Structure 1
Amino acid sequence: MAAPRVSFEFFPPKTLEASFRLWDTVQTLAPLQPRFVSVTYGAGGTTRTLTREAVGTLHGSSGLNVAAHLTCVNATRAETMAIADEFHAAGVREIVALRGDAPKDSGGFKPHPEGFKDSCELIAALKERGDFTIRVGAYPEAHPEAADTSADIDWLKRKFDAGADEAITQFFFSADTFLRFRDRCAAAGIDKPIIPGIFPIENWSGARRFAQSCGTTVPDWLNSAFETAERDGRSDLLAIAVATEMCSTLMDHGVEDLHFYTLNRPELTRDICHALGVTPRVELRDVA
């Protein structure tokens, strides 16, 4: 079986120490030759400037194909498209277009009076603006604001109809969750690539809270396994084994691309990729 193609998600650093961690993460994972790496926005657009700076630095110094997250939150259409134009002028041609999460305790997403009302409007504007590759979010389990999974599939179809090229899913803990979702998408007439999002579990209690907040099912067996592994000091071994087995199952069913949510902690992602046959092929070039 051929090794999968991989991509990685990073978040922009807020401190000098975090900047060093991001660069260490890039140095660790760049030799795996990812198709692209993405840089996130914070909730409510709180890291908009940091994201622009991180995208520019990575694009200019790492040799990686960098995808910038862009959201509709707390910005006018003109402001949002000005950021897209900055990315384009800097040579960045990859955008992850999202509605975005509302600021904490804001009572939910509310469009800016002069902004995009949803991700579909943003996607259509980006498609009209220039030669971007546009990726979007997809939800194998119901988004917390969706009525059900059918509503999520309807939204995904609208995103593709608006001009999106690929989708990246929210993370999940069972290969069957993704495979059933992929089948439902195909039945709905969606024929563009859907990349499964993989979340290596660095800290189980944090991962469980995160999963609960975004509607990801936590299997009882996984919770028990990590509780035992933490007592035995073998959490990392379990995390690698669980993710590797799930990715292998996905690959057995025709999945060729995997997107890893690294949380700027690269070691588990690297080890999982190695277990899947993704090994270093080039060295990160030196920065002058």
Structure 2
Amino acid sequence: MTQRSFSFEFFPPKTPEGAEKLRATRQQLFPLKPKFVSVTFGAGGSTQQGTLDAVVEIQREGVEAAPHLSCVGSTHENIREILGTYRSHGIRHIVALRGDMPSGMGEIGEFRYASELVEYIRKETGDWFNIEVAAYPEYHPQAKSPRHDLENFARKVKAGANAAITQYFFNADAYFHFVEDAKRLGVDVPIVPGIMPITNYSQMMRFSEMCGAEVPRWIAKRLESFGDDRESIRAFGLDVVTELCDRLLAGGAPGLHFYTLNAAGATQAIWKRLGL
């Protein structure tokens, strides 16, 4: 049985207060011994320096850090430079994404798809990086069809990805079907479910709208019924997400990747309930 992979995602803080908050969050979460943590990268590389600063600081704390790298709006030269910087800091893990076009940027750049980025990283750096890619159990919001999306995913893996992390979802069946379909296309890397703890109803609905994650009607209605009662939202959210994680692990998921939003509480509570 291969060892399961449990990991966390952070975003690079934009203010000194944000940086302090993230340090405090890490102090709470790192005793759980994650396999690695990932740090996001803004549209068109807008948080590039912040991502680098965060991963370097995390590595110094003795935890493996994986910066996100998005290629939309980038050139080969620009990506080569970023890869060189990460290598010089001893970073060996990367999350390779197509990313979003920042508003107002007209040029797509020299990479159209994440598969081209993965291929380029392998060509430039060989086996130096352990490469994660994104997967969409409920399909990418811009995909022409489920089949097209799956083929796209398989292309990223064949280009040299070691593993995949999914967009968050609340329907375990969507994940299991996706994994089965991907296997039929020859995908044999671990596909780790991305988990979004529920702590804020309106924020979650906004995120889900943007990224195409479906919030089942019964969950949305219950959360809506709590109004401003944050305690009830949190308690219900813990029940729902813990049950989802339980089902995923029991069904053979190779681990869990928590979207922490730079806060420790909900992730810690789910972790504890799962007995990890």
Instruction: Confirm or deny a common fold (TM above 0.5).
Output: yes
Residues 163 and 189, structure 2, Cα contact 8 Å, conserved in 1: yes
Residues 168 and 195, structure 2, Cα contact 8 Å, conserved in 1: yes
Judge which range, 157-166 or 221-230, deviates more. 221-230
Distance in 2 of aligned mates of 1:35 and 1:84: 22
Runs of 4+, deviation exceeding 3 Å: 229-233
Alignment correspondent of 1:121: 116
Output the amino acid matched with 2:95: V
- Per the TM alignment, residue 44 of structure 1 is displaced from its structure 2 partner at its CA by 2.5
Distance in 1 of aligned mates of 2:216 and 2:260: 22
- Per the TM alignment, residue 217 of structure 1 is displaced from its structure 2 partner at its CA by 1.3
- The 5-angstrom pairing of residues 183-194 of structure 1 reads 183-194=180-191
State the secondary structure of the residue aligned to 1:234.
helix
* Structure with more contact order per residue of length (Cα contacts < 8 Å, sep ≥ 6): 1
2:157 to 160, 177, 184: 160
Residues 229 and 238, structure 1, Cα contact 8 Å, conserved in 2: no
Residues 4 and 276, structure 1, Cα contact 8 Å, conserved in 2: no
- Per the TM alignment, residue 4 of structure 1 is displaced from its structure 2 partner at its CA by 5.5
Alignment correspondent of 2:77: 78
- Per the TM alignment, residue 231 of structure 1 is displaced from its structure 2 partner at its CA by 5.3
Q: Kindly provide the CA deviation profile for residues 240-261 of structure 1, in whole angstroms up to 9, marking residues without a partner as x.
A: 1111000101111111310000
- Per the TM alignment, residue 53 of structure 1 is displaced from its structure 2 partner at its CA by 1.3
Alignment correspondent of 1:174: 171
Alignment correspondent of 1:100: 99
Taking only aligned residues, the RMSD between alpha carbons, in angstroms, comes to 1.7
- Per the TM alignment, residue 5 of structure 1 is displaced from its structure 2 partner at its CA by 3.6
Distance in 2 of aligned mates of 1:180 and 1:219: 17
Residues 71 and 98, structure 2, Cα contact 8 Å, conserved in 1: yes
- Per the TM alignment, residue 167 of structure 1 is displaced from its structure 2 partner at its CA by 0.5
Residues 36 and 67, structure 1, Cα contact 8 Å, conserved in 2: yes
State the secondary structure of the residue aligned to 1:44.
helix
- Per the TM alignment, residue 106 of structure 1 is displaced from its structure 2 partner at its CA by 4.9
- The 5-angstrom pairing of residues 20-39 of structure 1 reads 20-39=20-39
State the secondary structure of the residue aligned to 1:273.
helix
Q: 1:76 to 1:105 in 2, by over 3 A?
A: closer
Q: 1:12 to 1:231 in 2, by over 3 A?
A: closer
Residues 138 and 152, structure 1, Cα contact 8 Å, conserved in 2: no
State the secondary structure of the residue aligned to 1:183.
helix
Q: 1:5 to 1:162 in 2, by over 3 A?
A: closer
Distance in 2 of aligned mates of 1:145 and 1:33: 36
Q: 1:6 to 1:230 in 2, by over 3 A?
A: farther
Q: Kindly provide the CA deviation profile for residues 18-48 of structure 1, in whole angstroms up to 9, marking residues without a partner as x.
A: 0011111111110111111000011222111
Distance in 1 of aligned mates of 2:34 and 2:242: 17
Alignment correspondent of 2:136: 139
Alignment correspondent of 1:55: 55
Alignment correspondent of 2:268: 270
Residues 111 and 118, structure 1, Cα contact 8 Å, conserved in 2: no
Output the amino acid matched with 1:244: T
State the secondary structure of the residue aligned to 1:255.
coil
Alignment correspondent of 1:283: none
Alignment correspondent of 1:215: 212
Q: TM-score, normalised by structure 1?
A: 0.90
Q: Kindly provide the CA deviation profile for residues 103-136 of structure 1, in whole angstroms up to 9, marking residues without a partner as x.
A: 13557xx421xx3232112111211214110000
Q: 1:50 to 1:166 in 2, by over 3 A?
A: same
State the secondary structure of the residue aligned to 1:8.
strand
Alignment correspondent of 1:286: none
Distance in 1 of aligned mates of 2:34 and 2:165: 15
Alignment correspondent of 1:249: 247
Q: TM-score, normalised by structure 2?
A: 0.94
Distance in 2 of aligned mates of 1:186 and 1:74: 32
